């Protein structure tokens, strides 16, 4: 029996939650078929996992199977004339950058870490700091192959198995296993950006300024001091830039530093931060950032490599997710443009009211989506992330706070991101995601016995299975 097999502890990226699971790392499509066949015989459930960069419980599966695709990571073909790449779905953006940037092509829509797999990129239909210009990755997918619950391989594209194409992309691994992907990369004039910055005194200034910047600069993101209250609520700085037109495709500043610039080893850093990182120390860090710009000055240069510019967290704090004793929640909400100022102010005020402050926050611009992937996160507006350390002995208060924030997000017609910490219940899911019912109908059609489940899915849908009870919201 699988259930007697040794289990591995698998974490969400935010390290607030984990599952003990049978983890399988297939290296071929044939092996995936046999895992599915066995799981069905033994009535076990399968969760798909790529690089495990999602923060919450969408890749966890207590006492069941986690199918980790990361060993299937070969690039199958690369056409440097057309920019079409075909790869196994465990291939990472990192691998594609190293292969294709020297030929003048780039992954069109890169999330804030380059270690995301193609499968995970499709599963959450990821976007980057250029969402306002380039949308999400789904727009660039030509086709993919996925093995569904009937254990058959389906090729999905805009012409073939169209319903599956639009629901597996953004479908958080709940319909089948993506095994390979064809994606159109984008031609670039260089791998370098000119980095600019504008500081702002509060949300009103920040959003008004961002509105004037977002159309002219492809890459942009704002950092926000989420602790400051009163007149300075929402103060921060916008970083923005365009690709430079000099045909320089050398990949510089790519290696992840082993040490911080002040000499402390990145491996050692979490031991310090676990003791000293809190709202008081972050007030000081935020003050330094506002007054000296010390955290982002290295990317505000006339020529800075995209590796450094785009992958700030990978480069600056590769062990960031180990910084907190009980992990951290990353709550990411998006709101329609007309409600951003008011809505984000209210969300921050809720965190202040409960005393669970966001120690790191960012804001990004989004355009209207060109295609309707069923569970996609973006809508025309802005999103804000909030990194809030988990406090185990106050978890019920924290969940209460997040639910209050969800109500606000729903009131303003927004939603929260499944790839970050998905602290939501069924009612929130249905109210935030207009296609949720259609998605569940498609799941019922292609996976009637619910072979593909995750802790997140059982938690939201309130499903109990033998050997795995409904995961509690407090286990998030
Ligand atoms: C530092 C950091 C910055 C980030 N910045 C951004 C950002 O700017 N924009 C953004 O959109 N996201 C961002 N993210 C979130 C991240 O991009 C997404 O969570 C992404 O989906 C993770 O990909 P992964 O390969 O790690 O997949 P996982 O996290 O392992 O899985 C993601 C989803 O895909 C499903 N899945 C995995 N493999 C398969 C498969 N073979 N078949 C079918 N489904 C599968 C999983 O079930 C899961 O639901 C960031 C994450 C981090 C850690």
* Mean pLDDT score across all residues of the chain: 95
- Percent of the chain at pLDDT above 90? 91
Q: What is the pLDDT of residues 130-167, one digit of tens each?
A: 999 999 999 999 999 999 999 999 999 999 999 999 99
Strands (E), 63-217: 65-68, 75-79, 84-88, 105-106, 141-148, 153-157, 176-184, 186-187, 192-200
Please give the pLDDT value at position 3. Answer: 61
Q: Atom 45 of ligand 1 has which residue's CA nearest to it?
A: 173
Residue 173 CA, closest ligand 1 atom number: 44
**Dmax (CA) of the chain:** 62
User: Would you say the CB of residue 452 lies under 6 angstroms from ligand 1?
Assistant: no
Q: What is the pLDDT of residues 9-21, one digit of tens each?
A: 999 999 999 999 9
Q: What is the pLDDT of residues 272-294, one digit of tens each?
A: 999 999 999 999 999 988 888 76
Q: What is the pLDDT of residues 46-91, one digit of tens each?
A: 999 999 999 999 999 999 999 999 999 999 999 999 999 999 999 9
User: Would you say the CB of residue 390 lies under 6 angstroms from ligand 1?
Assistant: no
pLDDT bracket for residue 4 (50, 70, 90): confident
User: Would you say the CB of residue 214 lies under 6 angstroms from ligand 1?
Assistant: no
Question: Residue ranges per domain, the chain?
Answer: 192-424
Cβ atoms of residues 52 and 13 within 8 Å: yes
Please give the pLDDT value at position 2. Answer: 47
User: Would you say the CB of residue 175 lies under 6 angstroms from ligand 1?
Assistant: no
What's the CA-to-centroid distance between 257 and ligand 1, angstroms?
23
What's the CA-to-centroid distance between 377 and ligand 1, angstroms?
13
Q: Determine the average pLDDT of the residues in 189-206.
A: 95
Residue 365 in this model has a pLDDT that exceeds 70 = yes
CATH of 192-424, one of 3.30.70.2520, 3.20.20.70, 3.40.50.880, 3.40.50.2000: 3.30.70.2520
Cα dihedral sign, 173-174-176-182? negative
Angle (nearest 5°) at CA 103 between 102 and 106: 80
Q: What is the pLDDT of residues 240-281, one digit of tens each?
A: 999 999 999 999 999 999 988 788 899 999 999 999 999 999
Q: Among 111, 129, 377, which is best to mutate for testing ligand 1, by the most ligand atoms less than 8 A from CB?
A: 111
Q: Atom 21 of ligand 1 has which residue's CA nearest to it?
A: 120
């Amino acid at each position: 029996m699988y259930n007697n097999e040794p289990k591995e502890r698998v974490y969400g990226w935010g390290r607030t939650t984990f599952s003990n699971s049978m983890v399988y790392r297939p290296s071929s499509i044939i092996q995936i078929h046999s895992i599915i066949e066995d799981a069905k015989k033994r009535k076990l459930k399968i969760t798909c996992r790529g690089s495990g960069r999602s923060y919450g419980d969408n890749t966890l599966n207590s006492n069941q199977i986690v199918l980790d695709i990361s060993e299937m990571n070969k690039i199958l073909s690369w056409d440097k004339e057309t920019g079409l790449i075909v790869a196994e779905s465990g291939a990472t953006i990192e691998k594609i950058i190293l292969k294709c940037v020297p030929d003048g092509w780039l992954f069109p829509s890169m999330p804030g870490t380059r270690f995301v797999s193609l499968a995970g990129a499709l599963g959450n239909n990821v976007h980057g700091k250029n969402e306002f210009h380039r949308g999400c990755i789904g727009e660039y997918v030509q086709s993919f192959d996925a093995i569904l619950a009937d254990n058959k391989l389906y090729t999905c594209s805009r012409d073939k198995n169209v319903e599956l194409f639009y629901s597996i992309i953004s479908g958080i691994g709940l319909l089948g296993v993506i095994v390979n992907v064809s994606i159109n990369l984008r031609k670039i004039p260089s791998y370098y950006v000119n980095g600019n910055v504008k500081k702002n005194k509060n949300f009103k200034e920040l959003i008004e300024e961002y509105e004037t910047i977002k159309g002219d600069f492809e890459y942009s993101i704002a950092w926000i001091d989420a602790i400051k209250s009163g007149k300075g609520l929402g103060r921060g700085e916008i970083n923005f830039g365009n690709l430079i037109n000099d045909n320089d495709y050398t990949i510089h500043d790519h290696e992840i530093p082993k040490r911080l610039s002040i000499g402390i080893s990145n491996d050692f850093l979490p031991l310090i931060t676990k003791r000293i990182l809190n709202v008081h120390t972050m007030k000081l860090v935020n003050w330094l950032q506002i007054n000296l710009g010390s955290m982002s000055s290295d990317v505000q240069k006339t020529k800075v490599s995209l590796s450094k510019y785009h992958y700030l967290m990978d480069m600056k704090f590769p062990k960031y997710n180990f910084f907190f004793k009980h992990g951290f929640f990353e709550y990411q909400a998006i709101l329609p443009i007309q409600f951003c100022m008011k809505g984000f102010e209210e969300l921050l005020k809720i965190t202040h009211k409960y005393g669970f402050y966001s120690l790191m926050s960012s804001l990004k611009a989004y355009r209207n989506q060109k295609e309707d992937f069923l569970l996609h996160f973006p809508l025309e507006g802005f999103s804000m992330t909030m990194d809030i350390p988990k406090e185990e002995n106050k978890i019920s208060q924290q969940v209460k706070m997040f639910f209050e924030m969800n109500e606000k997000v729903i009131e303003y017609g927004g939603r929260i991101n499944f790839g970050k910490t998905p602290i939501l219940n069924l009612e929130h899911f249905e109210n935030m995601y207009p296609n949720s019912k259609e998605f569940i109908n498609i799941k019922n059609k292609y996976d009637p016995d619910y072979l593909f489940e995750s802790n997140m899915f059982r938690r939201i849908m309130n499903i109990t299975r033998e050997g795995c009870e409904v995961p509690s919201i407090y286990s998030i």
